[in-house]
Structure 1
């Protein structure tokens, strides 16, 4: 269950708009939400099993004490109705709690990714205070959900105690009016056993229904995140006759990140031939990165024609990302290791001298997105990683 849901979340998030902030959402979805879904799915079996068990117990109780079993049935229905109301409110409280968790986790991820810069700029204490405040806010958000958990546990135990009590009290009242069967010692102990089975089933059902309803809330959260801003690739792969001789073709292409805003890129016409080296220049926020993201198919609102010769395109972002593996593994990626080609790319990107000065050389781990590496070294390592795409 966990593996399947984690794979689904990963597959869906990889198709979302790259402009979305997903650090906190992704971590929370694959941990807290999926864990709650696991609990809910597990409790599904408790629901059908205890419904059958409770129904059989009610039938046998009716055979033993007659219509007095209606009181026990009434307590059971009231308990189930109450837990449904609590579960709906609890699901909303859980959603707000997990949203606060997302905020805190997103802050932690960002700080860890840029911890070197944080320390150099002297922001450590301020950010620690901010994380502490985020944690306090998260705990405050969780208090309401935990209150609902206490209510469910109390209701479950109350149902266990009240079901037999109401059943026997009703039987005694009916007996006084001569409307009930005679209850001898053997029938009394048998009925107590049946009430124990019924009350246990009702108590388990109360907790199981709450778990299932909150799990449904987590499923809704996953669905909401994974369908929000789902990106459909606007590009055409070899979409025109012209693009069969070109790597990238744009005809009157415009792009923007939000539907209501003005176009960042307006009516661009480009024809890039294989082997070309193109330089894009412009002032800050003029749309240079957006133009590249149009080629990658990462801009949500795109009009005109964007055709590329291949769907797989290597891209070195201005903020390099390194996996938590060795420098060599970051360079080679999934491609088979070719010693000769590896040595050539090390020399071309001028990393040979750097690797001699790094403890462990190319076996050194790039932990924390390359915290111990300089910006230039990280960029050149990522530049190496593009080489297997040739």
Structure 2
């Protein structure tokens, strides 16, 4: 039931959200019901829903932090806060304060108490089980403390609320203390083993402002950084962790289809890729607030009828908006960088494993280096635009809708322009893939030739071929640049199309609006409408620019992924060797690398029987070879150039092609150092 006494002063029992009455708190405040519902009930309900899931997820973890004085201070502060919340609930139930209550006041106080009890249950567990300060509690305490400051102002302005206001402010001060305690680092009380990882033990505030990097920056300011000075990489983005997930998905994928590798990586890493949308959506919300703030600020300056408190409120709103833009942008870039790092680790791991499995001689020796360099880097440089596609669509849609409310049907003008540019960009994208493929092939050819030359540099110098080799490398480089020009021409067109939207959209929009206004005898737009619309256009153009660029960038990334996929589909080497001994059972049952019993002197460790082998099905290098090598003996393989010495050693490693015969080993744990032929059995 609505309280007549309360509403005779202010419409506080209505949702508002603002009082809109000059005689009520100078007309600059939210209604009490709105503050209770949105500032307290909503976050408290969200916390109560999240605490059980968080409690269950960390309950079975081993303790990471030992008991400390900090934990006792936290518990004491929470107990004091619970008592203050209980006192406030009791006060609000008294008939003395019935005139100041809204229909949600008692429920608000009860939920506040329940949320504090939930904090008391979760905080000790978070302190013991998690090395970093609790992100859930830190976020809840930070935002509710700010919202409670606004509520405290309202409480003090209520007539006859001295007791409830005093208790509420005391609870606010206690919550602020708890906010500081929850944000303190627990690293000094940790008893976990392993290297120091500041990123892993940093809380939400340190991560938001990248404060965990400050010690490294200071160290680099006073001296040269070395590899050993860098922090250990987070285990969640390490190559070992990523490779397990991606390889499992890749093994179950259909490798004969186009884009199978790209889809496998997307499925395996969908969580870190998707989580980047959270800060991006927050960034969209803050970005959309800018046009409204600009319009309100211009109206406030032009009108002069609003109280000064309204101007102070605008200053605070601008500060919150741009601080929110900065923090959400930082989180978006941080999470995007982590996702891209994981994708890079997945691609390089797949290339590396494929290099170990592919038969020797079936691909160029420099192919892995070229793929890990040019192709992977190209994927990384384009995927950042592709990842933001979904948020960009949302931002563009909302911006168009808001623009329609200000300019009417002319809002379709920038949309039509952008659609034309998008169509042109899609046509450009068709030319990107073949031209990029030709460029990458030219790069790979040059790198392969240069690698071969550097591997035989002594022979080249002895034969006096330096000038010829230099000319060949120069020619290959010029051919590569010629191929890259065709690709770069397309990129120039793509960049031009992307920037054209930023330049032409405001011009097209306001010209169209001016024409419609003139011939329809409509009212000329105000300064507030013009500037807010310009702000909206900038909010609209930025994501659409990225969307236009995302089409060719996606095509470029997929083409590079296809090149890597084609490399992984190369002919695999089948190990034809037979092991004569099994690893010890005690080692097989554990996760350790299997070990083999040491061979006794006089026993056979390598045996080849009537082996015919070579490097192609048509040509045999080793003919009817039978060899037995005894443990404890020194065996030397000698012979003229090209007689098959290296082929014999490669056969023992399981490389090459075994035409007939058998190869038996007591172990496949073999040390081998490959040679680079200095003199080849060929004509110069």
TM-score (ref. length: structure 2): 0.41
In the TM superposition, 1:116-135 aligns within 5 A as 116-135=458-477
Check 1:319–1:95 CA distance in 2 against 1; reply closer, same or farther (3 A cut): same
Check 1:118–1:166 CA distance in 2 against 1; reply closer, same or farther (3 A cut): same
Matching of residue 73 in structure 1 with residue 430 in structure 2 = no
Check 1:199–1:303 CA distance in 2 against 1; reply closer, same or farther (3 A cut): farther
Distance in 2 between residues matched to 1:255 and 1:181, nearest whole Å = 89
Matching of residue 190 in structure 1 with residue 548 in structure 2 = no
CA contact (8 A) 1:247 1:309 kept: yes
CA contact (8 A) 2:576 2:654 kept: yes
Of 276, 299, 315, 2:656 maps to 299
Residue in 2 that maps onto 1:319: 676
Report the CA distance between 1:33 and its aligned residue: 1.9
Distance in 2 between residues matched to 1:75 and 1:301, nearest whole Å = 64
Distance in 1 between residues matched to 2:644 and 2:459, nearest whole Å = 26
CA RMSD of aligned residues (A): 3.5
Distance in 2 between residues matched to 1:163 and 1:183, nearest whole Å = 20
Structure 1 unpaired stretches of 5+: 321-374, 377-390
Which one has a bigger Cα radius of gyration? 2
Residue in 2 that maps onto 1:94: 436
Structure 2 unpaired stretches of 5+: 1-340, 583-598, 680-684
Of 59, 65, 70, 2:401 maps to 59
Matching of residue 22 in structure 1 with residue 22 in structure 2 = no
Matching of residue 203 in structure 1 with residue 548 in structure 2 = no
Matching of residue 154 in structure 1 with residue 496 in structure 2 = yes
CA contact (8 A) 1:33 1:218 kept: yes
Matching of residue 108 in structure 1 with residue 453 in structure 2 = no
Check 1:32–1:318 CA distance in 2 against 1; reply closer, same or farther (3 A cut): closer
CA contact (8 A) 1:65 1:183 kept: no
CA contact (8 A) 1:47 1:209 kept: no
Of 598, 606, 623, 1:248 maps to 606
Of 490, 494, 507, 1:165 maps to 507
TM-score (ref. length: structure 1): 0.68
Residue in 1 that maps onto 2:665: 308
Question: Helix, strand or coil: the match of 1:93?
Answer: helix
CA contact (8 A) 1:234 1:302 kept: no
Aligned length, in residue pairs = 317
Distance in 1 between residues matched to 2:418 and 2:504, nearest whole Å = 9
Q: Deviations over 1:278-317 (max 9, x none)?
A: 7778887665543432221112575664332211224455
Question: Helix, strand or coil: the match of 1:247?
Answer: strand
Check 1:45–1:281 CA distance in 2 against 1; reply closer, same or farther (3 A cut): closer
Residue in 1 that maps onto 2:67: none
Residue in 2 that maps onto 1:364: none
Report the CA distance between 1:119 and its aligned residue: 1.8
Check 1:195–1:315 CA distance in 2 against 1; reply closer, same or farther (3 A cut): closer
CA contact (8 A) 1:159 1:203 kept: yes
Question: Helix, strand or coil: the match of 1:248?
Answer: strand
CA contact (8 A) 2:392 2:543 kept: yes
Matching of residue 139 in structure 1 with residue 481 in structure 2 = yes
CA contact (8 A) 1:254 1:302 kept: yes
Report the CA distance between 1:262 and its aligned residue: 5.3
In the TM superposition, 1:197-346 aligns within 5 A as 197-238=539-580, 246-250=604-608, 254-258=612-616, 261=618, 272-275=629-632, 289-299=646-656, 305-315=662-672, 317=674, 319=676
CA contact (8 A) 1:252 1:267 kept: yes
Question: Helix, strand or coil: the match of 1:311?
Answer: coil
Residue in 2 that maps onto 1:382: none
Distance in 2 between residues matched to 1:70 and 1:305, nearest whole Å = 75
CA contact (8 A) 2:421 2:497 kept: yes
Question: Helix, strand or coil: the match of 2:405?
Answer: helix
Distance in 2 between residues matched to 1:301 and 1:80, nearest whole Å = 56
Q: Deviations over 1:122-170 (max 9, x none)?
A: 1111111111111111111110111111011110111222333343444
Distance in 1 between residues matched to 2:452 and 2:496, nearest whole Å = 41
Distance in 2 between residues matched to 1:301 and 1:225, nearest whole Å = 24
